[in-house]
Structure 1
């Protein structure tokens, strides 16, 4: 029999339980599974995802082809995904190959190749993954490394810090961080008449909060009055009692909008009103951000993760279309690395993504070294810089899809053997 074998892993997680981003890869061989159609792959993905599938939202398929690179595809419940940089599934595929799950498993005692090359249907045309060793002194840690483009963002300081601008008001209503401060006390002489804003018709409380929000943004930190311990926390039904923190800086590339906050605490307490976000886009198409991700980031408070790994900065990542929080998202390093490198002047940085399952991502920025080993096209050829992103992959479980489910010619006898 020739079943399709698969491996589910946690990408960017050092534990098989509750860490990193769940990802699954199904491994086919062209010589054996050439009759498997994309429609059948979609059916497999739909069935796998229907039961929850350990938190997976997509299914990767790799096909071993004689004399060629691996063919790589990703499906969700609706069809094949064409979005580039499915790095979570790419490193899951690399780990599937390295563990010998599926066809062409390495012979006992042989050493798998550390470089795996994938041809994709979404772009870039070729992705190269390296398995690299990291010496931690007491143990060796292996990570899977991918070369990413360096996508430097354009600074957008004023639209982010001004809640009356389209982008500022947009973020104020949808993406907010609950702080431990009250609005600053403003003298009547300085307050001036209240300005009309697009939130006034919705609620007087929200209108007042918007003005107080602007006042906080324009005040020095030393002039902000600390909240009393008896104050309530944020309540979206009645309007926030504790004022949300504005980002201090913003940067936007075609891939991600990066928002810098003053503290790790602000990132941890951040909330995203997804329903409001979607309604805002539908009602005001001109406010659409046109980015894949919205990334909130801040310097690490302790320099370590909960597991004791190095940490330079923390992040929370949200989908640019729906506002839903994303698990481990290594592709945003394309924009985050040049952003943080400019501030810290450090070529190698460590990101701790504070999503529900957490994720630890290592990235390095440096002069472009030309083609990555085995990459014939090198579509990420940047004249200035490149970003090398890496993460740990931990296997959770293996499984298989029996051949008779996708090959009608594989008839079984009464004892369950192929006829």
Structure 2
């Protein structure tokens, strides 16, 4: 890398970085004992210089380093910081917390290396100036040619450079809409043809689901370091907890679930997927995938609540769970849009991932309903 020049003080770096170079600080350049080669082997990889530059700005924690260096992964940052600590360039200060936390800072040797790199930093733009200007002129020519071509041959479909949260949600819901009616249980309940025992099964499975989702949404809120996304997921656990309590009245009205194999794998696949999203998905993309399905879930619950009163003579407390999710809450929508827009603006949310998460979320939710439809349709 051009980060280190021939003017680096070999004596200081050889003694503090490699014992072999210290034994022969003036070895022949390019030979097996060349100290410059040792230094470049240790510090000339892709990430080491970037870590040193970031730490020159001040003390950083591990997650702060990971967020500040574009493209670096936890898998690459961990060995990089360990090597720098071992070579005496960086110092790690550990704190006795659970989970363990620590801060990284440059040592005196690390700061001296940063000072010596300033000449290279100033030299870089001068060396690359001509190439940058040629590239800029070429890109300008391409842009002008493209504009002239669009004026000459206008397109019916101009693809916007940026996507709004509303447009993304509308696109996802348009993709999901044709499959919302694949739910085979809702028509049976709406027509009063499902047996009463199906409500006992729904209550028992939803008790597990709301408890699991409560934990998953807490985990998503904790992982989200963007404020709008954290607020969106932080507001969901209380609703899951409230809905879980409403199921007690339904259980009291219909009795315990008499299913043979409880819980049903087809019903619990949905909360397992939500838990996977909580651990692995980009939070803003998960917000888009989850919220895109809220409309269909609300419509299902509204149909169930109406049928419970019309065909099964349930009272309001027994229907409260479904009434709760059937109600429209504009505040949740605004929080979801803010979280999704923040993800789009920062580049963290990839629209393709949001579409994927939404489709799988829909499939797992349909699996919940259709597992019960297969069991009780007979």
Q: Name whichever structure is richer in strand by fraction.
A: 1
TM range (shorter): under 0.3
The higher-RCO structure (CA 8 Å, 6+ apart) is: 1
Q: Name whichever structure is richer in helix by fraction.
A: 2
